[in-house]
Amino acid sequence: MEPASDSNLSVPQRGMRKGSQLYLFSLPVEAERSEEAKEGIPQVWKGVSEKEWNDWRWQLRHRITTFEQLKEIIELTPEETEGIRHSKGRLALAVTPYFTSLMDPVNPNCPIRRQAIPRIEEIHLSKSEMVDPLSEDNHSPVPGLVHRYPDRVLLLVTDQCAVYCRYCTRRRLVGSSERSITQGNFEEVLKYLKTHRKVRDVLLSGGDPLLLENERLEEMLSRLRALPHIEILRIGTRVPVTLPQRITGGLVRMLKKYHPLMISIHFTHPKEITDQVRRACSELADGGFPLGSQTVLLKGINDKPYIMKKLVQELLKIRVRPYYIYQCDLVMGTEHFRTSVATGIQIVEKLRGHTTGYAVPTYVVDAPGGGGKIPLQPDYVVSKGRGKIVLRNYEGKVFEYPEPNIIEFKKARTGADEKAVPKKVMA
Protein backbone atom coordinates (compact mmCIF):
# COMPACT_ATOMS: atom_id res chain seq x y z
CA MET A 1 0.00 0.00 0.00
CA GLU A 2 1.34 3.41 -0.96
CA PRO A 3 1.58 5.91 1.86
CA ALA A 4 -0.88 8.78 2.03
CA SER A 5 0.47 11.49 -0.22
CA ASP A 6 1.07 15.14 0.64
CA SER A 7 -2.09 16.03 -1.27
CA ASN A 8 -4.00 14.17 1.42
CA LEU A 9 -3.00 16.82 3.90
CA SER A 10 -5.32 19.38 2.35
CA VAL A 11 -9.10 19.51 2.59
CA PRO A 12 -11.44 20.63 -0.18
CA GLN A 13 -12.38 24.29 -0.01
CA ARG A 14 -15.81 25.62 -0.87
CA GLY A 15 -16.54 26.09 -4.51
CA MET A 16 -13.54 24.10 -5.78
CA ARG A 17 -13.47 20.94 -7.84
CA LYS A 18 -11.79 17.88 -6.44
CA GLY A 19 -11.60 14.76 -8.59
CA SER A 20 -14.92 14.46 -10.36
CA GLN A 21 -16.88 16.33 -7.69
CA LEU A 22 -18.16 19.83 -7.61
CA TYR A 23 -18.31 21.36 -4.16
CA LEU A 24 -21.42 23.39 -3.97
CA PHE A 25 -22.38 25.77 -1.25
CA SER A 26 -21.19 29.35 -1.15
CA LEU A 27 -20.47 31.23 2.08
CA PRO A 28 -23.61 31.93 4.09
CA VAL A 29 -24.14 35.40 5.43
CA GLU A 30 -23.98 34.72 9.16
CA ALA A 31 -20.49 34.30 10.54
CA GLU A 32 -21.46 31.28 12.63
CA ARG A 33 -22.93 29.51 9.64
CA SER A 34 -19.98 30.36 7.42
CA GLU A 35 -17.83 28.14 9.61
CA GLU A 36 -20.23 25.29 9.11
CA ALA A 37 -20.59 25.31 5.36
CA LYS A 38 -17.03 25.50 4.14
CA GLU A 39 -16.52 21.81 3.44
CA GLY A 40 -17.40 20.53 0.00
CA ILE A 41 -20.57 18.62 -0.52
CA PRO A 42 -20.62 15.95 -3.27
CA GLN A 43 -23.05 16.26 -6.19
CA VAL A 44 -25.23 13.44 -4.96
CA TRP A 45 -26.46 15.65 -2.13
CA LYS A 46 -26.92 18.74 -4.25
CA GLY A 47 -30.62 18.96 -3.44
CA VAL A 48 -29.96 18.98 0.28
CA SER A 49 -30.44 22.27 2.07
CA GLU A 50 -27.72 23.71 4.28
CA LYS A 51 -30.11 23.34 7.22
CA GLU A 52 -30.40 19.62 6.60
CA TRP A 53 -26.67 19.20 5.96
CA ASN A 54 -25.87 20.84 9.27
CA ASP A 55 -28.45 18.77 11.16
CA TRP A 56 -26.74 15.85 12.89
CA ARG A 57 -29.88 13.72 12.81
CA TRP A 58 -30.15 14.20 9.06
CA GLN A 59 -26.50 13.19 8.73
CA LEU A 60 -27.07 10.09 10.82
CA ARG A 61 -30.21 9.10 8.94
CA HIS A 62 -28.47 9.47 5.60
CA ARG A 63 -25.33 7.51 6.31
CA ILE A 64 -23.88 5.59 3.41
CA THR A 65 -24.35 1.90 4.18
CA THR A 66 -24.37 0.12 0.81
CA PHE A 67 -22.14 -0.45 -2.19
CA GLU A 68 -24.78 1.06 -4.46
CA GLN A 69 -24.82 4.34 -2.53
CA LEU A 70 -21.06 4.57 -2.26
CA LYS A 71 -20.33 3.89 -5.91
CA GLU A 72 -22.36 6.98 -6.83
CA ILE A 73 -19.76 9.08 -5.01
CA ILE A 74 -16.49 7.15 -5.05
CA GLU A 75 -14.66 5.29 -7.82
CA LEU A 76 -14.40 2.06 -5.88
CA THR A 77 -11.47 -0.26 -6.49
CA PRO A 78 -11.92 -4.05 -6.81
CA GLU A 79 -10.37 -4.40 -3.32
CA GLU A 80 -12.95 -2.02 -1.86
CA THR A 81 -15.81 -3.57 -3.82
CA GLU A 82 -14.93 -7.02 -2.49
CA GLY A 83 -14.38 -5.61 0.98
CA ILE A 84 -17.86 -4.09 1.03
CA ARG A 85 -19.35 -7.35 -0.22
CA HIS A 86 -17.71 -9.29 2.60
CA SER A 87 -18.49 -6.73 5.31
CA LYS A 88 -22.02 -8.06 5.69
CA GLY A 89 -22.22 -9.98 8.94
CA ARG A 90 -18.89 -8.48 10.01
CA LEU A 91 -18.24 -4.85 10.89
CA ALA A 92 -20.95 -2.84 9.16
CA LEU A 93 -20.26 -0.16 6.57
CA ALA A 94 -21.61 3.21 7.67
CA VAL A 95 -20.24 6.66 6.81
CA THR A 96 -21.90 10.02 7.36
CA PRO A 97 -22.42 12.18 4.27
CA TYR A 98 -20.13 14.75 5.93
CA PHE A 99 -17.24 12.29 6.37
CA THR A 100 -17.84 10.93 2.86
CA SER A 101 -17.48 14.48 1.55
CA LEU A 102 -13.88 14.49 2.81
CA MET A 103 -12.98 11.43 0.74
CA ASP A 104 -10.95 11.74 -2.43
CA PRO A 105 -13.26 10.01 -4.95
CA VAL A 106 -10.43 8.91 -7.24
CA ASN A 107 -7.52 8.14 -4.90
CA PRO A 108 -7.90 4.83 -3.03
CA ASN A 109 -5.01 5.84 -0.75
CA CYS A 110 -7.01 8.77 0.61
CA PRO A 111 -6.66 8.45 4.39
CA ILE A 112 -10.37 9.10 4.96
CA ARG A 113 -11.31 6.34 2.50
CA ARG A 114 -8.83 3.90 4.02
CA GLN A 115 -10.35 4.36 7.48
CA ALA A 116 -13.98 3.98 6.52
CA ILE A 117 -14.34 1.80 3.41
CA PRO A 118 -13.93 -1.95 3.91
CA ARG A 119 -11.21 -3.66 1.88
CA ILE A 120 -10.77 -7.30 0.97
CA GLU A 121 -7.77 -7.52 3.35
CA GLU A 122 -10.28 -7.55 6.23
CA ILE A 123 -11.11 -11.18 5.54
CA HIS A 124 -7.46 -12.21 5.91
CA LEU A 125 -6.89 -13.24 9.49
CA SER A 126 -3.48 -13.60 11.06
CA LYS A 127 -2.62 -16.03 13.83
CA SER A 128 -1.99 -13.29 16.37
CA GLU A 129 -5.37 -11.59 15.94
CA MET A 130 -8.15 -11.90 18.49
CA VAL A 131 -11.85 -11.20 18.75
CA ASP A 132 -11.37 -9.31 22.01
CA PRO A 133 -7.69 -8.35 22.10
CA LEU A 134 -7.87 -6.34 25.33
CA SER A 135 -9.85 -9.04 27.10
CA GLU A 136 -12.57 -6.57 27.98
CA ASP A 137 -15.25 -9.25 28.13
CA ASN A 138 -13.25 -11.09 30.81
CA HIS A 139 -13.09 -7.92 32.89
CA SER A 140 -16.78 -7.17 32.69
CA PRO A 141 -18.54 -7.74 36.02
CA VAL A 142 -21.83 -6.35 34.65
CA PRO A 143 -22.93 -6.14 30.99
CA GLY A 144 -21.73 -2.83 29.56
CA LEU A 145 -19.08 -2.25 32.25
CA VAL A 146 -15.35 -3.03 32.01
CA HIS A 147 -13.40 -2.88 35.27
CA ARG A 148 -9.72 -3.44 34.52
CA TYR A 149 -7.94 -0.84 36.67
CA PRO A 150 -8.56 -0.35 40.41
CA ASP A 151 -9.84 3.23 40.36
CA ARG A 152 -11.57 3.62 37.03
CA VAL A 153 -14.11 1.87 34.83
CA LEU A 154 -15.18 1.89 31.22
CA LEU A 155 -18.90 2.15 30.53
CA LEU A 156 -20.07 1.10 27.07
CA VAL A 157 -23.25 3.12 26.64
CA THR A 158 -24.08 2.31 23.02
CA ASP A 159 -22.82 0.16 20.17
CA GLN A 160 -23.55 2.82 17.56
CA CYS A 161 -20.96 5.06 15.85
CA ALA A 162 -21.40 7.72 13.20
CA VAL A 163 -18.74 5.98 11.08
CA TYR A 164 -17.38 2.49 11.60
CA CYS A 165 -13.60 2.59 11.58
CA ARG A 166 -12.22 -0.47 9.84
CA TYR A 167 -9.54 -0.95 12.52
CA CYS A 168 -11.94 -0.73 15.48
CA THR A 169 -10.81 -2.63 18.58
CA ARG A 170 -14.45 -3.25 19.49
CA ARG A 171 -15.53 -4.50 16.10
CA ARG A 172 -16.97 -7.52 17.92
CA LEU A 173 -19.53 -5.18 19.49
CA VAL A 174 -20.07 -2.02 17.47
CA GLY A 175 -22.70 -1.67 14.81
CA SER A 176 -24.45 -4.95 15.52
CA SER A 177 -27.71 -3.57 16.90
CA GLU A 178 -27.10 0.21 17.01
CA ARG A 179 -28.75 0.40 20.41
CA SER A 180 -27.84 2.00 23.70
CA ILE A 181 -27.37 0.20 27.00
CA THR A 182 -30.71 -0.95 28.39
CA GLN A 183 -32.15 0.75 31.45
CA GLY A 184 -31.92 -2.54 33.32
CA ASN A 185 -28.21 -2.89 32.55
CA PHE A 186 -27.55 0.71 33.50
CA GLU A 187 -29.22 0.13 36.87
CA GLU A 188 -26.96 -2.91 37.34
CA VAL A 189 -23.94 -0.72 36.54
CA LEU A 190 -24.99 1.83 39.15
CA LYS A 191 -25.54 -0.92 41.70
CA TYR A 192 -22.03 -2.24 41.02
CA LEU A 193 -20.46 1.21 41.29
CA LYS A 194 -22.24 1.93 44.59
CA THR A 195 -20.47 -1.07 46.11
CA HIS A 196 -17.06 -0.29 44.55
CA ARG A 197 -16.13 2.94 46.19
CA LYS A 198 -12.54 2.87 45.00
CA VAL A 199 -13.77 3.76 41.54
CA ARG A 200 -13.28 7.50 41.10
CA ASP A 201 -13.31 7.85 37.32
CA VAL A 202 -15.90 6.66 34.78
CA LEU A 203 -15.10 6.72 31.06
CA LEU A 204 -18.21 6.64 28.88
CA SER A 205 -17.48 5.05 25.54
CA GLY A 206 -19.01 2.55 23.17
CA GLY A 207 -19.72 2.97 20.32
CA ASP A 208 -20.03 6.70 20.62
CA PRO A 209 -21.77 8.24 23.66
CA LEU A 210 -22.41 11.50 21.81
CA LEU A 211 -24.83 9.71 19.52
CA LEU A 212 -27.26 9.41 22.40
CA GLU A 213 -29.94 12.05 22.60
CA ASN A 214 -29.16 14.77 25.16
CA GLU A 215 -31.85 13.58 27.56
CA ARG A 216 -30.60 9.99 27.65
CA LEU A 217 -26.96 11.04 28.04
CA GLU A 218 -27.87 13.53 30.74
CA GLU A 219 -29.74 10.91 32.70
CA MET A 220 -26.62 8.75 32.77
CA LEU A 221 -24.25 11.60 33.59
CA SER A 222 -26.45 12.94 36.37
CA ARG A 223 -26.86 9.57 38.04
CA LEU A 224 -23.15 8.85 37.82
CA ARG A 225 -22.35 12.33 39.14
CA ALA A 226 -24.65 11.68 42.11
CA LEU A 227 -22.32 8.92 43.34
CA PRO A 228 -20.11 10.71 45.87
CA HIS A 229 -16.92 8.73 45.12
CA ILE A 230 -17.02 9.42 41.37
CA GLU A 231 -14.61 12.34 41.03
CA ILE A 232 -14.32 12.68 37.29
CA LEU A 233 -16.30 11.70 34.23
CA ARG A 234 -14.81 11.22 30.80
CA ILE A 235 -16.31 10.76 27.35
CA GLY A 236 -14.47 9.00 24.53
CA THR A 237 -15.84 10.07 21.17
CA ARG A 238 -15.12 10.35 17.46
CA VAL A 239 -18.25 12.38 16.75
CA PRO A 240 -16.50 15.80 16.65
CA VAL A 241 -14.52 14.35 13.70
CA THR A 242 -17.06 12.24 11.84
CA LEU A 243 -20.25 14.15 12.72
CA PRO A 244 -19.22 17.61 13.97
CA GLN A 245 -22.80 18.84 13.48
CA ARG A 246 -23.65 16.94 16.68
CA ILE A 247 -21.71 19.45 18.78
CA THR A 248 -24.49 21.93 19.37
CA GLY A 249 -24.99 24.68 21.93
CA GLY A 250 -27.65 22.54 23.61
CA LEU A 251 -25.30 19.58 23.98
CA VAL A 252 -22.51 21.74 25.40
CA ARG A 253 -24.87 23.46 27.86
CA MET A 254 -26.06 20.08 29.09
CA LEU A 255 -22.56 18.60 29.42
CA LYS A 256 -21.31 21.67 31.32
CA LYS A 257 -23.50 20.69 34.27
CA TYR A 258 -21.33 17.63 34.89
CA HIS A 259 -17.84 19.04 35.27
CA PRO A 260 -15.17 17.89 35.81
CA LEU A 261 -15.82 16.21 32.50
CA MET A 262 -13.00 15.42 30.10
CA ILE A 263 -13.41 14.57 26.45
CA SER A 264 -11.07 12.32 24.49
CA ILE A 265 -11.49 12.73 20.76
CA HIS A 266 -10.36 10.11 18.30
CA PHE A 267 -8.43 11.82 15.48
CA THR A 268 -6.48 9.97 12.83
CA HIS A 269 -5.19 12.32 10.15
CA PRO A 270 -4.73 16.08 9.61
CA LYS A 271 -7.20 15.94 6.73
CA GLU A 272 -9.92 15.45 9.33
CA ILE A 273 -9.38 18.92 10.77
CA THR A 274 -11.86 20.94 8.78
CA ASP A 275 -13.65 24.18 9.56
CA GLN A 276 -16.59 22.25 10.94
CA VAL A 277 -14.30 20.27 13.23
CA ARG A 278 -12.60 23.51 14.33
CA ARG A 279 -15.99 24.93 15.24
CA ALA A 280 -17.02 21.79 17.13
CA CYS A 281 -13.78 21.68 19.14
CA SER A 282 -13.98 25.39 19.81
CA GLU A 283 -17.47 24.98 21.31
CA LEU A 284 -16.27 22.12 23.48
CA ALA A 285 -13.14 23.98 24.60
CA ASP A 286 -15.23 27.07 25.40
CA GLY A 287 -17.46 24.78 27.45
CA GLY A 288 -14.47 24.17 29.68
CA PHE A 289 -13.89 20.51 28.83
CA PRO A 290 -10.24 19.48 28.76
CA LEU A 291 -9.86 18.00 25.27
CA GLY A 292 -7.36 15.27 24.47
CA SER A 293 -6.77 13.33 21.28
CA GLN A 294 -6.36 9.61 20.80
CA THR A 295 -4.85 8.38 17.56
CA VAL A 296 -4.37 4.83 16.33
CA LEU A 297 -1.15 4.37 14.39
CA LEU A 298 -2.21 3.07 10.98
CA LYS A 299 -0.07 1.82 8.13
CA GLY A 300 -0.34 3.96 5.02
CA ILE A 301 -2.55 6.49 6.81
CA ASN A 302 -0.59 8.25 9.53
CA ASP A 303 2.61 6.22 10.00
CA LYS A 304 4.93 8.90 8.66
CA PRO A 305 6.50 11.39 11.10
CA TYR A 306 5.61 14.39 8.93
CA ILE A 307 1.92 13.40 8.90
CA MET A 308 1.81 12.84 12.65
CA LYS A 309 3.65 16.10 13.25
CA LYS A 310 1.15 17.97 11.13
CA LEU A 311 -1.72 16.29 13.00
CA VAL A 312 -0.45 17.09 16.50
CA GLN A 313 0.37 20.68 15.61
CA GLU A 314 -3.06 21.21 14.05
CA LEU A 315 -4.66 19.69 17.15
CA LEU A 316 -2.98 22.21 19.44
CA LYS A 317 -4.32 24.99 17.24
CA ILE A 318 -7.87 23.78 17.93
CA ARG A 319 -7.13 23.40 21.65
CA VAL A 320 -6.96 19.61 21.65
CA ARG A 321 -3.98 18.23 23.54
CA PRO A 322 -2.44 15.22 21.76
CA TYR A 323 -2.81 12.55 24.42
CA TYR A 324 -2.17 9.03 23.10
CA ILE A 325 -0.86 7.37 19.98
CA TYR A 326 -2.00 3.76 20.16
CA GLN A 327 -0.25 0.86 18.56
CA CYS A 328 -3.00 -0.86 16.54
CA ASP A 329 -4.56 -3.64 18.62
CA LEU A 330 -4.50 -7.27 17.48
CA VAL A 331 -8.06 -7.18 16.18
CA MET A 332 -9.41 -9.69 13.67
CA GLY A 333 -8.94 -8.53 10.08
CA THR A 334 -6.70 -5.54 10.77
CA GLU A 335 -3.22 -6.88 9.96
CA HIS A 336 -3.05 -4.56 6.93
CA PHE A 337 -3.32 -1.55 9.26
CA ARG A 338 -0.58 -2.60 11.65
CA THR A 339 2.86 -1.00 11.69
CA SER A 340 5.92 -2.15 13.58
CA VAL A 341 6.43 -0.86 17.12
CA ALA A 342 9.73 0.60 15.88
CA THR A 343 7.71 2.85 13.56
CA GLY A 344 5.78 4.26 16.52
CA ILE A 345 8.96 4.88 18.50
CA GLN A 346 10.55 6.58 15.51
CA ILE A 347 7.54 8.91 15.21
CA VAL A 348 7.90 9.94 18.86
CA GLU A 349 11.65 10.45 18.28
CA LYS A 350 10.80 12.87 15.46
CA LEU A 351 8.36 14.78 17.66
CA ARG A 352 10.09 15.05 21.03
CA GLY A 353 12.31 18.15 20.98
CA HIS A 354 11.31 18.92 17.41
CA THR A 355 7.99 20.49 18.32
CA THR A 356 6.15 21.89 21.34
CA GLY A 357 6.16 19.47 24.28
CA TYR A 358 2.36 19.83 24.58
CA ALA A 359 2.11 18.40 21.07
CA VAL A 360 3.91 15.16 21.91
CA PRO A 361 1.49 12.36 22.81
CA THR A 362 2.38 9.24 24.75
CA TYR A 363 2.85 6.25 22.46
CA VAL A 364 1.35 3.13 24.04
CA VAL A 365 0.83 -0.52 23.36
CA ASP A 366 -2.36 -1.75 24.98
CA ALA A 367 -1.09 -5.10 26.18
CA PRO A 368 -2.85 -8.05 24.53
CA GLY A 369 -4.93 -9.96 27.04
CA GLY A 370 -5.83 -6.95 29.18
CA GLY A 371 -2.49 -5.89 30.65
CA GLY A 372 -3.25 -2.21 30.19
CA LYS A 373 -1.38 0.55 28.40
CA ILE A 374 2.39 0.29 28.26
CA PRO A 375 4.15 3.53 27.31
CA LEU A 376 7.04 3.35 24.86
CA GLN A 377 9.53 5.98 23.86
CA PRO A 378 12.99 6.23 22.32
CA ASP A 379 15.79 5.30 24.68
CA TYR A 380 17.51 8.50 25.72
CA VAL A 381 19.78 6.78 28.27
CA VAL A 382 23.22 6.10 26.76
CA SER A 383 24.70 4.49 29.88
CA LYS A 384 24.37 4.37 33.66
CA GLY A 385 27.51 4.50 35.80
CA ARG A 386 28.21 4.84 39.50
CA GLY A 387 26.81 8.20 40.49
CA LYS A 388 26.05 9.38 37.00
CA ILE A 389 23.86 8.79 34.03
CA VAL A 390 24.77 9.52 30.42
CA LEU A 391 21.91 10.80 28.30
CA ARG A 392 21.39 11.92 24.74
CA ASN A 393 19.12 14.73 23.63
CA TYR A 394 16.82 14.98 20.62
CA GLU A 395 19.77 16.06 18.44
CA GLY A 396 21.90 13.09 19.47
CA LYS A 397 24.21 15.21 21.65
CA VAL A 398 25.46 13.39 24.74
CA PHE A 399 25.29 14.81 28.27
CA GLU A 400 26.38 13.56 31.67
CA TYR A 401 24.05 14.07 34.62
CA PRO A 402 25.50 13.51 38.12
CA GLU A 403 23.16 11.64 40.48
CA PRO A 404 22.71 13.07 43.99
CA ASN A 405 25.35 12.06 46.54
CA ILE A 406 23.03 9.77 48.55
CA ILE A 407 25.61 8.07 50.83
CA GLU A 408 27.15 11.31 52.05
CA PHE A 409 23.69 12.78 52.68
CA LYS A 410 22.58 9.82 54.81
CA LYS A 411 25.72 9.88 56.97
CA ALA A 412 25.34 13.59 57.57
CA ARG A 413 21.74 13.18 58.69
CA THR A 414 22.56 10.38 61.16
CA GLY A 415 25.47 12.37 62.65
CA ALA A 416 28.01 9.67 61.73
CA ASP A 417 31.73 10.34 62.05
CA GLU A 418 32.69 12.53 59.17
CA LYS A 419 35.78 10.37 58.59
CA ALA A 420 33.51 7.41 57.98
CA VAL A 421 31.85 9.23 55.12
CA PRO A 422 33.49 8.39 51.81
CA LYS A 423 35.23 11.51 50.56
CA LYS A 424 34.01 10.88 47.08
CA VAL A 425 31.12 8.68 46.25
CA MET A 426 30.66 9.85 42.74
CA ALA A 427 32.29 7.77 40.08
Distance CA 270, CA 311 (A): 5
- For residue 170, state whether it binds ligand SF4 (rule: CB under 6 A): yes
For residues 378 and 349, the answer to whether their CB atoms sit within 8 Å is yes
Query: Residue 211 CB, nearest distance to ligand SF4 (Å)?
Result: 9
> Least Å distance between CB 206 and ligand SF4?
6
For residue 281, give the H/E element and its range.
Answer: helix 275-286
164 binds ligand SF4 (CB under 6 A): yes
- Beta strand 321-326 with 17-18 is unpaired
Instruction: Say whether 110 is catalytic.
Output: no
137 CB neighbour count, 10 Å cutoff:
13
**Is 149 known to be catalytic?**
yes
In whole angstroms, how close is the CB of 54 to ligand SF4 at the nearest point? Answer: 21
Rule CB under 6 A: say whether 174 interacts with ligand SF4: yes
Angle between helices 305-317 and 341-351 (to 10 degrees): 50
Q: Is 238 a catalytic residue?
A: no
The reply to whether 324 sits near ligand SF4 by the rule CB under 6 A is no
ω into 19 cis (within 30 of 0):
no
Segment 258 to 297, residues that bind ligand SF4, using CB under 6 A: 266
Query: Does 323 interact with ligand SF4 (rule: CB under 6 A)?
Result: no
3-state class of 225 per DSSP?
helix
Q: Is 122 in the site for ligand SF4 (CB under 6 A)?
A: no
User: Could you say which of 38, 170, 279, 299 is catalytic?
Assistant: 170
Q: Has 271 been annotated as catalytic?
A: no
- Candidates 35, 36, 132, 208: give the one binding ligand SF4 (CB under 6 A): 208
326 catalytic per annotation: no
Binding-site string for ligand SF4 from residue 214 to residue 253, where x marks contact by CB under 6 A and - marks none? ------------------------x---------------
Closest approach, Cβ 241 to ligand SF4, in A, equals 9
Check 90, 373, 388, 392 and give the catalytic one. 373
SS3 (DSSP) at 253? helix
CA R_g for the chain = 24
373 among known catalytic residues: yes
Distance CA 302, CA 310 (A): 10
CA distance 14 to 305: 29
Residues 359-389 as b or e (16 or more Cβ within 10 Å = b)? bbbebbbbeeebeebeebeeeeeeeeeeeee
Q: How many residues bind ligand SF4 (CB under 6 A)?
A: 11
161 is catalytic: yes
- 203 sits near ligand SF4 (criterion: CB under 6 A): no
Helix, strand, coil share (%) of the chain residues, nearest 5 = 35, 20, 45
Q: Choose the catalytic residue: 165, 246, 303, 324.
A: 165
Residues lying near ligand SF4 in the complex (CB under 6 A) are found at 161, 164-165, 168, 170, 174, 206-208, 238, 266
Q: What are the residue numbers of the active site?
A: 148-149, 152, 161, 165, 168, 170, 329, 366, 373
